[in-house]
């Protein structure tokens, strides 16, 4: 969830100028407008409520951008005073040396994900039934991977990687939220919290695999279990697309904790 909605409202004031204008006047006389209240004739006359730099609405004429994110206000590029409302760049975490990147992995701050398991993880073999049976293996060592997370112009480091599962990411979720993950095919190591996409913001088909989250509204299995398809409906705002449904066989759904009561 890259927070593009840091600026909840813009100051709208006609004939005010960032270089010559008095900020006190702006704060006193401007009207507060949200992205939904924005009108095309306000273009060039809306300003940041914190740093007073000219803002623009993105996308200008639509409610959502091509990534399905709600329209937001952003700072123009001409002036760049420090402002806590500036969207942090999703450049991701960079490391000055391979040693430091390795250290971050050892310290559990950085995870290089080489891939996701193709097959369902199996519980560990258990020769002695009385022995404690652990969780299925959800996360295993991968090979060394070349990862472009060097500080100097995309310099690559050779780093130990993991083959994991979504369930593995969900375990210790609160801790994982703040770890940096380098996912397959990505250029950056990004905090998990910034990699998660709320399906409510999805309004287009997406070719790039992403990590989504949703709230279940209902789940129904309309045939013989366990091989029948279970239809799990998510909370989703009706728009161009009417609903958002996960179709997976009942067996697999139940293994993920989804049943009629979900």
- Contacting residues toward Zn ion, per CB under 5 A: 48, 50-51, 83, 85
Under DSSP, the state recorded for 200 is G
In the complex, the smallest distance separating the C-beta of residue 9 from Zn ion, rounded to whole angstroms, is 12
Cα(124)–Cα(24) distance, rounded to whole angstroms?
67
Cα(41)–Cα(30) distance, rounded to whole angstroms?
15
**Phi (first) and psi of residue 105, to 5 degrees:** -70, -45
Q: How many CB atoms lie within 10 A of CB 98?
A: 16
Q: Which is nearer to Zn ion, 51 or 190 (CB)?
A: 51
In the complex, the smallest distance separating the C-beta of residue 91 from Zn ion, rounded to whole angstroms, is 19
217 neighbors 235 (Cβ within 8 angstroms): yes
- Vertex 89 angle, CA 235 and 40, to 5°: 70
Q: Is 102 helix (H, G, I), strand (E, B) or coil?
A: helix
Q: Which is nearer to Zn ion, 48 or 113 (CB)?
A: 48
Q: Is 132 helix (H, G, I), strand (E, B) or coil?
A: coil
In the complex, the smallest distance separating the C-beta of residue 52 from Zn ion, rounded to whole angstroms, is 7
Task: Find residue 233's DSSP bridge partners.
Answer: 218, 245
Quick one: which H or E segment has residue 251? helix 250-255
Burial class for 253, CB neighbours closer than 10 Å (0-12, 13-18, 19+):
buried
Tokens representing residue 117 in the block: 């398991």
Nearest partner of 10 among 67, 64, 76, judged by Cα? 76
Nearest partner of 45 among 37, 160, 53, judged by Cα? 53
């Amino acid at each position: 969830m890259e927070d593009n909605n840091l600026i909840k409202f813009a100051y709208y004031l006609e004939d005010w100028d960032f270089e010559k204008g008095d900020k006190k006047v702006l704060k006193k006389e401007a009207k507060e407008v949200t992205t939904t209240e924005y009108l095309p004739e306000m273009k060039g006359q809306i300003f940041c409520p914190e740093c007073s730099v000219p803002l623009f609405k993105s996308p200008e004429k639509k409610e959502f951008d091509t990534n399905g994110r709600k329209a937001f206000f952003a700072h123009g590029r001409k002036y760049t005073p420090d402002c806590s409302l500036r969207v942090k760049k999703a450049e991701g975490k960079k490391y000055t040396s391979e040693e430091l990147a390795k250290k971050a992995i050892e310290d559990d701050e950085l995870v290089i994900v080489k891939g996701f398991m193709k097959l369902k993880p199996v519980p560990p073999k258990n020769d002695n039934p009385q022995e404690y049976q652990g969780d299925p293996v959800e996360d295993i060592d991968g090979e060394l991977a070349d990862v472009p997370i060097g500080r100097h112009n995309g310099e690559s480091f050779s780093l130990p990687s993991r083959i994991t599962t979504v369930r593995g990411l969900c375990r210790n979720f609160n801790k994982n939220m703040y770890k940096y993950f380098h996912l397959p095919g990505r250029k950056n190591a990004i905090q998990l919290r910034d990699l998660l996409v709320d399906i409510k913001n999805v309004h287009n088909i997406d070719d790039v695999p992403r990590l989504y989250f949703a709230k279940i509204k209902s789940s129904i299995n309309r045939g013989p279990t366990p091989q029948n398809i279970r239809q799990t409906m998510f909370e989703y705002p009706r728009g161009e697309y009417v609903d958002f449904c996960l179709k997976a066989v009942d067996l697999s759904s139940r293994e993920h904790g989804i049943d009629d009561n979900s």
